Amino acid sequence: MQIHVVDAFTDRPFAGNPAGVCLLDTEDWPEDAWMQRVAAEMNYSETAFARRLPDGDGADWEIRWFAPLVETNLCGHATLATAHTLRRERGLVGALRFRSRFSGILTAHAHEDGSITLDFPAAPCTESPVPAGLLEALGVKPEAVFRTGALGDLLTVLPDEAAVRAVAPDLDAMADVTRREGLRGVIITAPAPSPGLDYDFVSRFFSPAEGILEDPVTGSAHTALAPYWSERIGRNELTGLQLSARTGMVRTAVHGDRVHLTGHAVTILDGVLNV
């Protein structure tokens, strides 16, 4: 069985967010425990598994995502990586429809310049009290904290880009907070330092309870970030810069209750699973 490693939300190798991609040629899913072991072996923030659906099923492929420790509800960069792999390996073009267990139908549109646009549900934010232990975990006092509904994250707003860059979280304490609050992870964000840059806001994402210490580029987090900053900046189309060591850019467009996420992807490894 083939497996691929794809750097998503970048147009150059060794940047963006790496994901494992496994295209299954079976009608049924393998055992969940097997997919979880593969994801743990790959040890990327997410590994995507996709299987072809019968014609007339309302979608082309079904997709699932596994972090090293758990199956996840939604993953942007691994979906982008899967769409890129299907185009590269199977010659698929145009729109691809993915059925997901928890997030409905997700569509990926391939463009002539090699980029891919994902159509994901928006994650509206609701202002929240600061959970106990969050200040100690972050080491900085946020200006505001929001919950992102079904996405399951805390969106934590800091005053500026420098503050986002400087955060050195206590990941054990953060894992305790997210487990206690029933959350996936913590997004920290701030506006770009000035207008006219090639990005409008910055972010970082941590999900230590799921085995993701700091995620390089988090597409799903931008389903909350894009509506949040769109409302405050006053534009529907914005670009986010994720300030991980690898960095990555996510172009976003808010369309009502949907968010479009656009980026490139690069395959860096093709391999074979011998199990």
Identify the sign of the CA torsion 237, 241, 242, 247: positive
- Which structure tokens are listed for 58? 């309302």
Alpha-carbon span 82 to 4, nearest angstrom: 9
Catalytic residues: 46
- Which structure tokens are listed for 105? 């139908």
What contacts 33, CB < 8 A, 6 or more positions away?
Answer: none
**Which strand (E) or helix (H) includes residue 35?**
helix 32-42
Query: What domains lie within the chain, and their CATH numbers?
Result: 2-120+262-272 (3.10.310.10), 126-256 (3.10.310.10)
Q: What is the pLDDT of residue 125?
A: 95
Q: The pTM is what?
A: 0.93
Identify the sign of the CA torsion 128, 129, 135, 136: negative
**pLDDT (tens digit, 0 to 9) for every residue of the chain, 275 residues total?**
899 999 999 999 999 999 999 999 888 999 999 999 999 999 999 999 999 998 767 789 999 999 999 999 999 999 999 999 999 998 877 899 999 999 999 999 999 899 999 999 999 999 999 999 999 999 999 999 999 988 899 999 999 999 999 999 999 999 999 999 999 999 999 999 998 899 999 999 999 999 999 999 999 999 999 999 999 999 999 999 999 999 999 999 999 999 999 999 999 999 999 98
